[in-house]
A and B are shown apart, each in its own frame.
Chain A
Amino acid sequence: MARKQDRIGEGYGGEIALQNTKLGYGKTDLLQRAKEKGFVQKAAVSADEAFDGTIVVKDANLWYGSFQALKHVSVEIPNHKTTALIGPSGCGKSTFLKCLNRMNDLVPECKVDGSFRIGNRDIYGKIDVNLLRKNVGMVFQKPNPFPMSVYDNVTYGAKTFGIRKRSELDEIVETSLKQAAMWEELKDRLHQSALGLSGGQQQRLCIARALAVKPKVILMDEPTSALDPISTGKIEELCKELAKNTTIVIVTHNMQQAVRISDRTAFFLLGELVEFGDTEQVFHSPADERTSRYVSGRFG
């Protein structure tokens, strides 16, 4: 395990630098801005700069009341790769996903233990949860655009962190929508309600909205399960594009989708992580009998 971690750790500095120049909006560094405005502590900013998308989870357990939803899950999710979480309903994969940006905090009676580190920071330790969620974006199963204009949707996160200047916001909108490959279709209707978009557009808008705050990790919870095949295809393409400089963790029930877009696959069953490895290996030569039965469609 230690060996693996070393390998993952290699070459990070370079990549981060690259990423910063790539995604930085010219002079407008979001965190820098937030720091100036007093939204974030200086320490938090410097910690944030070291924040990369490597996720290391050790011996994670989670209970909803007395029900144990995650059992001794340990996993290392590499930076700038797409990792798919698969498994039958109720196996804990969405629960696990929500641990990574602490959305589980919202669930009453939810208790978590174990070590969760993203970018070498203990995310259940002394951190700013809002800053964590800025860095670890999330896309939900059902598209959830806010009831406001496309423009306001995309700039929502930036405004949260203190950016108010029109020109900067304009730039953020353009960059994010371009990243989400929907600038061309939306540039003329930026100021119309986002709720008037189609389901697929709404979901891609939600991705653009998440990208606008430059997350290091994007969590996707069955992002295409409510969409038609064409929209699904667009989102999968988008995922591949994004994986070049972001870590993506995606929960999916669609085996083909996992094969198409992910580099690594984790198979969950009854709260346990049964198998984790390269997607090709998990699907073609699974080490565990249960994985083999699941991926070949015998249960689930």
Chain B
Amino acid sequence: MNYAKGKEKAGKIAFMAMAIVCIVAVVAIFVFLTVRSIPAFRKIGFFEFLFGDNWASDRYDVYKDPLSGSYGIFTMIVGTLAATVGALLLGGVTGYFTAVFLAFFCPKRLKKPLSAVINLLAGIPSVVYGFFGIVFLLPILSTFAPNNGTGLLATSVILGIMILPTVVSLSKTSLEAVPLAYYEGATALGATHTKAVFSVMVPAARSGIAASLILGIGRALGETMAVVMVAGNAPTYPTGLFGSFRVLTANIVMEMGYAGEVQEDALIATGVVLLLFVLLVNLAFQAISGKAVEKITRKTAGKGRRNVLKEMRENLSYPLHLPEVGKGLAWACGIFSAVALLSILGFLFWKGVPTLIQKPSLLFGKYEFGSEDVTILPSIVSTLMVVALSLLIAVPVGCMTAIFLNEYTRNDSVFVKIVRTAIDILAGVPSIVYGLFGMITFVRIFTGASNLFAGSLTVSIMLLPTIVRSTEESLKSVQAGLREGSLALGAGKLRTILCVVLPSALPGILSAMILSMGRVISESAPFLYTAGSVLSGMPKGYFDSGATLAVALYRLSGEGWYMQEAYATAVILIVIVLALNFLAEGISSALEKRIKGENNGKKTR
């Protein structure tokens, strides 16, 4: 109609286009993987593939006929489930008690630092956990294990530590959301603090805690690198606590690099099976967390108050000693969680920092072919290149999708539901599946060999859900009054969004960006077969291959020749990731302050 109207319309179309990009990404992942896995099911047989317990890949493509290799993933399905259960028993239980400890027993002074420490656990790259497993856990286990310590126990311990922060933070949130009136009610009936906590508060947060455990399961199922480094990876059933076994994710990592035709199809099919597992878990999570919210609101609405009271009284009649045991466990787990993190960091720094000082060539040296000295400078450059490009792609797409969802649509429209589902699905896809997808699409499209461009594209899809969700959170927290104010002055929607809404949401968006940077730096599974994993010279451009820092750590620790260098690389990785976490926190709170217009200080002019 006119200039302004045209601009409005163009804006809306641009935002919508980005939302469509998100849908396309999900559809592409599913379609590509499914289509590529069909030949495997056809050649190997659906039943034989899923329930065969012999995985002995062979070169079918060379011998043509008959199928000389055998592809059954049942051992790995069992292995994956066993490792997940193990992680849940160790990490889930510890996490549960740690959350109770933090919410109800922790001395006030310790609460903040402890929560921060546990959150830091979430930021540590999974290769670092795996590396810690190799250099710390396995040697200890091998003193009494029949083998070198690899197997179910080591895997469960490492996975347990990895899911700890997820379980703790979510459980703690739901425990703290229980109305205080319950606690008061219980103590008014004569319960002690401990008893009130375990008989009333914890049961009231039950569904939230269950949701946190399920989220932990999802994380354990999809974890790749850390497991690869401590599980042993022989394609057999896990037997006992020790003994090499393989999980689904590991299968892909172990063999994708040199897979023949059928083998590759079988690996992609493995990825599809993994994806289905994770999707099921996510569905369960959504069902339960939805219920959790509903339950709390229903209870506080007063409708079920009588039932709550009744439940309270019944719960209070539990035998007395149980809560006391729980209290002890809560203390023990809380302290253990903190010690676990500090010991991981302490150990790696103790071993790695001296190398950094003694061998500056590691950081600043020049790569020479055949030389015994390794340098991680090319890896640092590759990492920076991937971070830059992936954010350049993911941030605009993610932010614009979030704006479209939050500013232009109503929640009940079908399109929005599709976009939201797409984002939820993306969030659940294990990182190795992204790697697989990137390998069979981007790598094949661009140059055919691993290259940083393909790696960046792959990981940018992986970043989308985080960026969309946190941008949406910050958009939601912008007061509605500001939008009304702008519209009431005759400003169009586009101007309102760009000039009023976005600036207010900036702190949240920025911190999401920084955390995404941390995520790119700490991921390794999506890069192995997309960006490349060979430690070599400086990448010559985006279409050259290069190993990122996390991938370099995996390589260095896997070969056993460069353990000192691996320690040093781990230290660098941890420092960068933790620094980014602090930066995110700092920037968002500083900006928040500036936007809120601190009165003090400015008046004194």
Which residues 178-207 in A have Cβ within 8 Å of B in the complex?
189, 192-196, 206
Instruction: Identify the closest chain A residue to B598 (Cβ).
Output: A196
Question: How far, in Å, is A66 (CB) from chain B's closest CB?
Answer: 16
> Is A130 within 8 A of B597, CB to CB?
no
Question: How far, in Å, is A16 (CB) from chain B's closest CB?
Answer: 19
What is the 8 Å Cβ interface bit string for chain B, positions 491-525, against chain A (1 contact, 0 not)?
A: 11001000110011000000000000000000000
B388 on interface, CB distance cutoff 8 Å: no
A142 on interface, CB distance cutoff 8 Å: yes
A77 on interface, CB distance cutoff 8 Å: no
What is the 8 Å Cβ interface bit string for chain B, positions 377-419, against chain A (1 contact, 0 not)?
A: 0000000000000000000000000000000001000000000
CA distance A138 to B491 in the complex (A): 13
CA distance A189 to B605 in the complex (A): 10
Please name 17 pairs of A and B residues whose Cβ atoms are closer than 8 Å in the assembled complex, sorted by A.
Answer: A39-B3, A130-B491, A133-B487, A137-B489, A142-B481, A144-B482, A144-B485, A145-B485, A148-B503, A156-B491, A156-B499, A156-B500, A189-B602, A193-B602, A194-B597, A195-B596, A210-B488
B interface vs A, CB < 8 Å?
A: 1-4, 410, 479, 481-492, 495, 499-500, 503-504, 594-599, 602-603
The residue in B479, B487, B596 that gathers the most chain A C-beta atoms within 10 A of its C-beta is B487
Question: How far, in Å, is A210 (CB) from chain B's closest CB?
Answer: 7
User: Knowing that A131-B490, A195-B596 are A-B contacts, what are 13 other residue pairs whose CB atoms are under 8 Å apart, sorted by A's residue number?
Assistant: A38-B2, A39-B4, A40-B4, A133-B487, A140-B484, A146-B485, A156-B499, A157-B491, A160-B495, A193-B596, A193-B602, A196-B603, A210-B489
- 4 A-B pairs with least C-beta separation: A193-B597, A134-B490, A195-B597, A144-B481
> Is A157 within 8 A of B489, CB to CB?
yes
Instruction: Identify the closest chain A residue to B1 (Cβ).
Output: A41
Which residues 106-145 in A have Cβ within 8 Å of B in the complex?
106, 108, 130-135, 137-138, 140, 142, 144-145
Question: How far, in Å, is A108 (CB) from chain B's closest CB?
Answer: 5
> Is A206 within 8 A of B485, CB to CB?
yes
Which of A103, A131, A145 sits near B488, CB closer than 8 Å? A103
Instruction: Identify the closest chain A residue to B479 (Cβ).
Output: A144
* Chain B residues in 8 Å Cβ range of A210: 488-489
* Chain B residues in 8 Å Cβ range of A81: none
Question: How far, in Å, is A203 (CB) from chain B's closest CB?
Answer: 12
> Is A160 within 8 A of B596, CB to CB?
no
Given contacts A40-B2, A196-B597, contact A161 B482 (CB under 8 A): no
A interface vs B, CB < 8 Å?
A: 37-41, 101, 103, 106, 108, 130-135, 137-138, 140, 142, 144-148, 156-157, 160-161, 189, 192-196, 206, 209-210, 213
Question: How far, in Å, is B242 (CB) from chain A's closest CB?
Answer: 59
> Is B481 within 8 A of A140, CB to CB?
yes
Question: How far, in Å, is B51 (CB) from chain A's closest CB?
Answer: 51
Instruction: Identify the closest chain A residue to B8 (Cβ).
Output: A130
CA distance A101 to B599 in the complex (A): 34
Question: How far, in Å, is A293 (CB) from chain B's closest CB?
Answer: 33
> Is A130 within 8 A of B492, CB to CB?
yes
* Chain A residues in 8 Å Cβ range of B484: 103, 106, 138, 140, 144
> Is A133 within 8 A of B490, CB to CB?
yes
* Chain B residues in 8 Å Cβ range of A142: 481
The residue in A40, A195, A213 that gathers the most chain B C-beta atoms within 10 A of its C-beta is A195
Question: How far, in Å, is A163 (CB) from chain B's closest CB?
Answer: 13
Question: How far, in Å, is A291 (CB) from chain B's closest CB?
Answer: 30
Given contacts A142-B481, A192-B602, A195-B596, contact A101 B492 (CB under 8 A): no
* Chain B residues in 8 Å Cβ range of A193: 594-597, 602
Question: How far, in Å, is B388 (CB) from chain A's closest CB?
Answer: 29
Question: How far, in Å, is B74 (CB) from chain A's closest CB?
Answer: 51
Question: How far, in Å, is B437 (CB) from chain A's closest CB?
Answer: 37
* Chain A residues in 8 Å Cβ range of B594: 193
Given contacts A106-B487, A146-B500, contact A195 B3 (CB under 8 A): no
> Is A196 within 8 A of B599, CB to CB?
yes
Which of B482, B485, B487, B489 sits near A213, CB closer than 8 Å? B489
Which of A147, A148, A160 sits near B491, CB closer than 8 Å? A160
CA distance A103 to B496 in the complex (A): 14
* Chain A residues in 8 Å Cβ range of B489: 133-134, 137, 156-157, 160, 209-210, 213
Instruction: Identify the closest chain A residue to B600 (Cβ).
Output: A196
CA distance A140 to B485 in the complex (A): 8
CA distance A210 to B485 in the complex (A): 9
Which of A38, A156, A196 sits near B3, CB closer than 8 Å? A38
Instruction: Identify the closest chain B residue to A161 (Cβ).
Output: B490
CA distance A108 to B413 in the complex (A): 12
CA distance A108 to B492 in the complex (A): 18
CA distance A108 to B490 in the complex (A): 20
* Chain B residues in 8 Å Cβ range of A156: 486, 489, 491, 499-500
Given contacts A142-B481, A196-B599, contact A137 B2 (CB under 8 A): no
* Chain B residues in 8 Å Cβ range of A41: 1-2
Instruction: Identify the closest chain B residue to A149 (Cβ).
Output: B597
Which of B2, B597, B603 sits near A147, CB closer than 8 Å? B597
* Chain A residues in 8 Å Cβ range of B595: 147, 193, 195
Question: How far, in Å, is A78 (CB) from chain B's closest CB?
Answer: 22
CA distance A183 to B603 in the complex (A): 17
Question: How far, in Å, is B589 (CB) from chain A's closest CB?
Answer: 15
CA distance A39 to B491 in the complex (A): 11
CA distance A228 to B499 in the complex (A): 30
Question: How far, in Å, is A191 (CB) from chain B's closest CB?
Answer: 10
* Chain A residues in 8 Å Cβ range of B485: 140, 144-146, 206, 209
> Is A130 within 8 A of B4, CB to CB?
yes
Question: How far, in Å, is B254 (CB) from chain A's closest CB?
Answer: 52
